[in-house]
Amino acid sequence: MLTPALSNQGSYRGRFAPSPSGPLHFGSLVAALGSFLAAKSQQGKWLVRIEDIDTPRVVQGADSDILHTLEAYGLHWDETVVYQSQRHSIYQDVQNHLQSQGLVYACQCTRKEIKQRGGFYDNHCRALNLPFANNALRLRQNFPVDSFTDQIQGQVHIPRNIAWEDYIIKRRDGLYAYQLVVVLDDIDQHITHVVRGADLLEPTARQLGLFKQLKHTAPRYAHLPLVVTEPGLKLSKQNHAPAIDKQNPIPATLAALRFLGLLPPKDLNSADIEDILKWAIASFSLQKISKVAEKPLSDAY
């Protein structure tokens, strides 16, 4: 018979979920490595999901480039890679389910109108019974979450207007919104732990509410400090972060490990990537990670 401790082994299921809008940069490497090490240090599974729901932002070939880069960095995933673009019928089923409960309504407010009314959506269309076709769809917020405990950030408080918003689950252009699909994917893939960048703290509150609405246990969340190029400026595809080097994964990996609070010994500089990751799995702890980046990227890497 398994002891309780052993039966828990392998039950951890984490994931890395890049959007294929460009190559991996140092910030996405930190998120990939952080989620990988968190899973592997708990003898867990690490899954990869390509978040290609926002089709206008998808760059042709970026998905395979991302997967090849992960392989070059020794970040080997478990189970088949999931693509959101192939899961439309799952999202549709849940939309129908929410709709049948009277939880979904159409909204035709433009960004400009919302801005003129004070910058926050004010339930303007809740009772208007607008047609669903060619309008955005909003979910009635019955489970607002205004604070939660994060494994790195501690107690997180969310502004009331964000916590209570009837947010959009399907856009006017017919595309499902990130808020909806990310929760459905995490449920479907039995994700137990989410490790990702701190730019997603506010979406996490909405996602926690949606797990409640759908009567599913939410994963535990750990939000990593953001990589900044200078104070306050996040490294991202939008500000043209350079791609990490597929041919030479070790310098970026060692820098990412230091960013995650680890101190790789000098002799690892000449080790191969698999040995570096073995050392990192054995050394990793969420407790070693600081809430915010201590220095900008230019000093760290």
Shortest Å distance, C-beta 108 to Zn ion: 6
Shortest Å distance, C-beta 132 to Zn ion: 13
Nearer to Zn ion, 11 or 134 (CB): 134
- Using CB atoms within 10 Å of the CB of residue 23, give its burial: 0 to 12 exposed, 13 to 18 middle, 19+ buried: buried
Nearer to Zn ion, 125 or 222 (CB): 125
Nearer to Zn ion, 124 or 234 (CB): 124
Between CA 279 and CA 229 the distance in angstroms is 28
Of positions 17, 37, 104, 109, contacts Zn ion by CB under 5 A: 109
- 16 annotated ligand-binding residue: yes
Give the binding range for Zn ion (CB under 5 A) out of 11-19, 100-108, 177-185, 255-263. Answer: 100-108
Nearer to Zn ion, 87 or 172 (CB): 172
Give the binding range for Zn ion (CB under 5 A) out of 78-86, 102-110, 161-169, 270-278. Answer: 102-110
- 237 annotated ligand-binding residue: yes
Shortest Å distance, C-beta 122 to Zn ion: 9
Nearer to Zn ion, 70 or 168 (CB): 168
- 17 annotated ligand-binding residue: yes
Shortest Å distance, C-beta 260 to Zn ion: 42
Q: For residue 182, state whether it binds Zn ion (rule: CB under 5 A).
A: no
Nearer to Zn ion, 171 or 234 (CB): 171
Q: For residue 180, state whether it binds Zn ion (rule: CB under 5 A).
A: no
Binders of Zn ion among residues 205 to 224 (CB under 5 A) are none
Q: Are 255 and 300 in contact (CB under 8 A)?
A: yes
Binders of Zn ion among residues 116 to 145 (CB under 5 A) are 124-125
Q: For residue 107, state whether it binds Zn ion (rule: CB under 5 A).
A: yes
Interface with Zn ion (CB under 5 A): 107, 109, 124-125
